[in-house]
Structure 1
Amino acid sequence: MFHNDYIVAGGEYHSVREEFDGLQRAGVEARLLLSDNEGLQSASARKQAVKLLTGREEYERCKAEIARFRPDVLHLQNLFPSLSVGVLRAAAESGVPWVRSLRNYRLRCLAATLRYDGEDCRVCHSAATGIPGIARGCYRGSRAASAGALAVNVRDASLSRRSAKRAYIVLSHAMKKPLKAQLVGERVFVKPNIVTIPEPEAAPTPLRYDAVFVGRAVAEKGIETVLETARRAPELRFAAVGTERGDWNGAAGWPENVESLGVLPQPAAVEVMATSRTLLVPSVWAEPFGRVAAEALSVGAIPLVADRGGLPEIAQLLAADLVLPHDVVHPWVSAVRHFASMAPQELTAWRTAARRVASENFAWRPLTDRLINIYREVSGVD
């Protein structure tokens, strides 16, 4: 398994490791080869370009690892930017079948989000031909960096086609449509992320909050919807994990009934979710999956999610009316108040059902079995 970590760890960091741990728990002999972007940050523009476009160092590293381990199948996770060229070149030369998990929209969009200037964007049909993305500086707000990203994607597309036995994994059915052109003629499997399912509670968790938000204070995550919901429901108690009051400079300010808990380790963030009636996920971009919504289910918090990307596929497993419009605040206020005023017995039934849904759909064993079956289908090895 090959993966390029981001400098700031997010849901992808935990999802990749949960997947790898699941394979080991299932008795699969596996290796995880990691890279990161630390070295690129301090390198000159010229050195960055040479490193990314030739991929020489990572190619030699990956080639040696493949020869040493002799795997039946390669699992490629996030490769951009450091691993893209090197891993794909080594994979093509080895002839080993590979499966690639797509955790964002980078095959189509230089920014990987299908967003530009606060709006949905479908201007570029491919990240390997995304000239408009260069003009707009879509990658890191820089035309030069965007040109480099496009060049890496050109090499990525070319090298990917050199492997005869290959397949792609997407995290939700919603991911298929915007990536349709990039995946035409390819084998594509849908497999959601694994989340840790806590042991059943010995006693009910004391509820401290009516709603919690877990994420960065950025427009794409819908932070303003969270804050406006709190303003309109001053009698309720909210919490924000992953952000500080000073991180958001919206004109209306930060409501007094929103407690800012700052950045917490992932297990601690999940513990906060367990003390809340609901989790708010009002993302305005098309989340490929929405890990926090699945984690909320695992501890009995009710996920209220935006009608975007893969989020509805998670919340609808519990109830269809948990999916709310991403661009209208009133339904979010009504939903939070509904669960805040719910009788204890009824809320307990909801929380029990949420945990059951998580266990049935996101536990390590069934999803690891699904992944192993994908490996078998692509490699032909039983």
Structure 2
Amino acid sequence: MRVLVVHNFYQQAGGEDTVFRAETSLLRRHGHDVRTFTVSNDVIGQTLRLKAAAHTLWNAQVARKIKAMVHEYGSEIVHFHNTFPLLSPAVYSGAHAGGAAVVQTLHNFRLLCANGLFFRDGHVCEDCLGKLPLSAVRHSCYRDSLSASAVVAAMQTVHRAAGTYHTGVDRYIALTEFAREKFIAGGLPAERIAIKPNFLEDSPGAGAGDGGYVLFVGRLSAEKGIETLLRAWTELGTTIPLCILGDGPLAPQVAEAAHSLPGVSWLGQLDRADVLKLMQGAAFLILPSEWYEGFPMTLIEAWGVGLPVLGSRLGALGALIEPGHTGLLFQPGDANSLVDRARWLWDHPHERQKMRNQVYQAFQASYTPEQNHEQLIAVYTAALEYFNSSQSRRRV
């Protein structure tokens, strides 16, 4: 199959970038003719911000570029990962004009929410779901900027009104059933949203979990539940060593906790190989997220080494983590609930070992490259069928 894979590298969107690279590599390993087209937000600082804002709404230049690349490479599918902010939904029309079907992976909730998180002022917020995004502008939800939020809201409103998200995309990929239901509630066509989870490109194998510590891996930010985690470890630090990996806006609080709380260490941002090695030795991973996670690569990486996960009972995590089998759940934002569940897991090593075995078996059954390739090609095939039938209807 001939595929053009397109991605706008976006600040702090590490998971999206990882999936883009992994899927591109996966397709090439299976013999597909894969070309890529990428842009980066790094150029925004070197261009007029007014021009960048205009491109967020409609970038005709890139649309023409996509059309030309489809013609040049004979691409049957154009698979978009992220189009925000520099590519714009105009790229869908460029792909169609070139004669290719369009697939869009929904890595976050940007089509429905200005900040893409459904998170505001420390809690889940669905004020704009299925509505005009006036609340997003009023609360400056995108980068705490009224003007930038207005641009994102305008993009959402214009393309909803124009029907772009209905006519421009032949198949959407949601990462979980939870996300799919949210996008349906937001107005996307249910019959064209497939579910395909993320996957781990190369697992180092199951670990022993004998390192004598637990892990947090991720961005140090409010929506990731860092403050809840630190509150819990004011009580747990003397009994359960916690290693925190990552960086972000709450790094100063984490650094202070590592200095003042017993049992808490902060190792900063590490290479993926080092993260996986630490995961192999950890007793369990903590995902205390307070927003609707998509399908975090951290979760897939943990499962790829047989690591049980203690996660918040919120959004997709509440469905992905099976209590007693692949981990445990606690109430989001509730430090006491986290303390209770963490203590139970730590105090029951035999049960943890059972979970490790089940976690690794579940990973091998559902989240390897082989299964993901089959799922991806099924999505591409459905997109081609829909695009070709749409073209036939237009000719009639």
Q: Do Structure 1 and Structure 2 share a fold, with TM-score over 0.5?
A: yes
Describe the shift of the 1:83–1:256 C-alpha distance in structure 2 as closer, same or farther (beyond 3 A): same
Letter in 2 for 1:93: A
8 Å Cα contact 1:72/1:97 also seen in 2: yes
Structure 2 equivalent of residue 36 of structure 1? 40
Describe the shift of the 1:63–1:25 C-alpha distance in structure 2 as closer, same or farther (beyond 3 A): same
Describe the shift of the 1:237–1:245 C-alpha distance in structure 2 as closer, same or farther (beyond 3 A): farther
Length-normalised TM-score, structure 2? 0.87
Structure 2: distance between partners of 1:15 and 1:249: 30
Letter in 2 for 1:275: G
Structure 2: distance between partners of 1:225 and 1:377: 43
8 Å Cα contact 2:326/2:359 also seen in 1: no
Letter in 2 for 1:369: E
8 Å Cα contact 1:244/1:260 also seen in 2: no
Structure 1 equivalent of residue 137 of structure 2? 134
Structure 1: distance between partners of 2:210 and 2:233: 17
SS of the residue corresponding to residue 178 of structure 1 reads: helix
- Cα deviation for residue 330 of structure 1 reads 2.7
- Cα deviation for residue 159 of structure 1 reads 6.5
Give CA-to-partner distance per residue, 1:258-301, whole Å, 9 cap, x none: 11000112232222211211000010001122221221111122
Structure 2: distance between partners of 1:191 and 1:278: 25
Give CA-to-partner distance per residue, 1:336-371, whole Å, 9 cap, x none: 22332334x654443232222111111111111011
2:48 paired with 1:5: no
Structure 2 equivalent of residue 328 of structure 1? 334
SS of the residue corresponding to residue 111 of structure 1 reads: coil
Describe the shift of the 1:79–1:244 C-alpha distance in structure 2 as closer, same or farther (beyond 3 A): closer
- Cα deviation for residue 156 of structure 1 reads 4.2
Give CA-to-partner distance per residue, 1:298-343, whole Å, 9 cap, x none: 1122111111122233322872761221132233223322332334
- Cα deviation for residue 378 of structure 1 reads 1.9
Describe the shift of the 1:362–1:278 C-alpha distance in structure 2 as closer, same or farther (beyond 3 A): same
Structure 2 equivalent of residue 193 of structure 1? 198
Structure 1 equivalent of residue 21 of structure 2? 17
Structure 2: distance between partners of 1:279 and 1:161: 37
Structure 1 equivalent of residue 61 of structure 2? 57
8 Å Cα contact 2:7/2:82 also seen in 1: yes
8 Å Cα contact 1:54/1:85 also seen in 2: yes
Structure 1 equivalent of residue 74 of structure 2? 70
- 2:262 paired residue among 256, 259, 279: 256
Describe the shift of the 1:110–1:199 C-alpha distance in structure 2 as closer, same or farther (beyond 3 A): closer
Structure 2 equivalent of residue 319 of structure 1? 325
2:364 paired with 1:377: no
Give CA-to-partner distance per residue, 1:60-103, whole Å, 9 cap, x none: 32122111112222211111111123412302423422111101
Letter in 2 for 1:372: I
2:164 paired with 1:150: no
8 Å Cα contact 1:52/1:82 also seen in 2: yes
Give CA-to-partner distance per residue, 1:200-224, whole Å, 9 cap, x none: 46xx646324311011221110112
Describe the shift of the 1:29–1:133 C-alpha distance in structure 2 as closer, same or farther (beyond 3 A): same
Give CA-to-partner distance per residue, 1:206-261, whole Å, 9 cap, x none: 632431101122111011222222221222111000038971438x9452311100
Describe the shift of the 1:342–1:265 C-alpha distance in structure 2 as closer, same or farther (beyond 3 A): same
8 Å Cα contact 2:115/2:142 also seen in 1: yes
Letter in 1 for 2:45: Q
Give CA-to-partner distance per residue, 1:142-190, whole Å, 9 cap, x none: 1111111123334544373574771211000111232223214541111
Letter in 2 for 1:170: A
More displaced stretch, 74-83 vs 208-217: 208-217
More displaced stretch, 328-337 vs 72-81: 328-337
RMSD: 2.7
Describe the shift of the 1:118–1:246 C-alpha distance in structure 2 as closer, same or farther (beyond 3 A): closer
Structure 1: distance between partners of 2:363 and 2:202: 7
Letter in 2 for 1:353: Q
Structure 1: distance between partners of 2:382 and 2:90: 25
Describe the shift of the 1:9–1:268 C-alpha distance in structure 2 as closer, same or farther (beyond 3 A): farther
Structure 1 equivalent of residue 300 of structure 2? 294
8 Å Cα contact 2:92/2:168 also seen in 1: no
Counterparts of 1:211-290 in structure 2, within 5 Å, are 211-233=214-236, 234-243=238-247, 247-249=251-253, 253-254=257-258, 255-290=261-296
Specify every segment of 5 or more residues in structure 1 that has no aligned partner in the other structure, as ranges: none
Structure 2 equivalent of residue 307 of structure 1? 313
Describe the shift of the 1:244–1:64 C-alpha distance in structure 2 as closer, same or farther (beyond 3 A): closer
Structure 2: distance between partners of 1:137 and 1:163: 30
Specify every segment of 5 or more residues in structure 2 that has no aligned partner in the other structure, as ranges: 389-396
Describe the shift of the 1:74–1:155 C-alpha distance in structure 2 as closer, same or farther (beyond 3 A): farther
